[in-house]
Amino acid sequence: MKKLIAIVNPEHLNEHGNYFGIPTNFWVANKEAFPEGTPPVLLYHDGCEDLKAVTICDNPRIVDGSDYDHTAMYFKLVRRTVIRLKDELLRIWEGADDNNIYKGSNKFPYYWEMTREQRQILLRLNAKLLDVEKSVYERCEELHKEHPDNCLLGRINFLLDEKDPEWADEDDNIMATLCHHHRKDYNPSETWNDAPHLMKDEKGKPAHFCWLFHELYDHTGLVWEDLLRIGQITVTIKVYYNYEF
């Protein structure tokens, strides 16, 4: 790890994977890991090799972070998590066992714990993404006929709704990005609901989730409540030319 903050005792750093919307490895530490007087912090990778330290408080900030760092998607997700789990993280900082504190937290509800209105919004998002999938597939098929020997790559951005309190005119407002390769096995009838006994539609039947919806909730670090905040969806498709000399 790059020592952004001097770590005097790594034994007191506990590494974790993708929990609660943090789409990268992060370290929950207690104060014995750092020099005396260090404010409570949580460490995380910013998607590259750099290690960031974010303060554990009501208004989390990156230690020595730039304006760019504070508008990055990773930080936004980490910030949301730190605010919601501040009390639990501070207990860990004081030396409590993290295995019994935040993993059972009910502060990040599951799909089946959402209200009826919230689930309806999620199902409408899923229906919208079915249309996105169809449009992307059809366009990629056209491009593939024109460029059969070249690589196609789509980029799908999910933006905050303009009414969201964290929307900022000077920011790109991207919550998550998915890279979309041309899928020859595209099948709109196939469901990607990996918990059909729990994630159901309004009629009580297993919800039919499209591939993009599954990728969004299961592979971006967003939690269900984050999906409610999505507004515009943008798609970019590029053709990459291959040359040999």
Q: What integer pLDDT is reported at residue 129 of this predicted model?
A: 95
Q: Do 116 and 236 share a structural domain? A: yes
Query: Is residue 4, in this structure, part of any structural domain at all?
Result: no
Residue that finishes a domain, picked among 46, 69, 100: 100
Q: Do 117 and 212 share a structural domain? A: yes
pLDDT in tens, 134-169: 998 888 888 878 877 666 778 899 999 999 888 888
Give residue 182's domain range.
111-240
pLDDT in tens, 85-114: 888 889 889 988 776 666 556 677 888 889
Q: What is the dihedral of CA 93, 9, 70, 162, to 10 degrees?
A: -40
Query: Is residue 188, in this structure, part of any structural domain at all?
Result: yes
Choose the most confident range, by mean pLDDT, from 110-124, 159-173, 231-245: 110-124
Residue that finishes a domain, picked among 43, 69, 100: 100
Higher pLDDT, 244 or 122: 122
Q: What integer pLDDT is reported at residue 102 of this predicted model?
A: 61
Distance CA(241)–CA(203), nearest Å, equals 48
Q: Do 170 and 147 share a structural domain? A: yes
Q: How confident is the model at residue 1 (pLDDT cuts 50, 70, 90)?
A: very low
Half-sphere exposure (CA, 13 Å, Cβ side) for 84?
18
User: What is the count of structural domains for the chain?
Assistant: 2
Residue that finishes a domain, picked among 45, 65, 100: 100
Distance CA(189)–CA(210), nearest Å, equals 8
pLDDT in tens, 197-231: 889 988 889 999 999 999 888 877 788 888 999 99
Provide the 3-class DSSP secondary structure of residue 51. strand
**Helix residue spans in the chain (DSSP H):** 67-70, 73-84, 86-93, 116-146, 211-219, 224-227
Q: Are 161 and 179 in contact (CB under 8 A)?
A: no
Provide the 3-class DSSP secondary structure of residue 91. helix
DSSP sequence for 143-194: HHHH-TTSEEEEEEEEEEPTTSTT--TTS--EEEEEEEE--TT--TT----S
Q: Do 198 and 218 share a structural domain? A: yes
Is pTM beyond 0.85? Reply is no
Distance CA(90)–CA(40), nearest Å, equals 7
Helix axes 116-146, 211-219, angle to 10 degrees: 120
Distance CA(172)–CA(203), nearest Å, equals 38
Q: Do 31 and 130 share a structural domain? A: no
Query: Is residue 126, in this structure, part of any structural domain at all?
Result: yes
DSSP 9: -
Q: Is the pLDDT of residue 189 over 60?
A: yes
Distance CA(112)–CA(199), nearest Å, equals 6
Pairing type for strands 230-240 and 13-16 reads: unpaired
Q: Do 125 and 95 share a structural domain? A: no
Higher pLDDT, 21 or 26: 26
Q: What integer pLDDT is reported at residue 108 of this predicted model?
A: 75
The mean pLDDT value of the chain amounts to 83
Q: What integer pLDDT is reported at residue 3 of this predicted model?
A: 55
Q: Do 172 and 88 share a structural domain? A: no
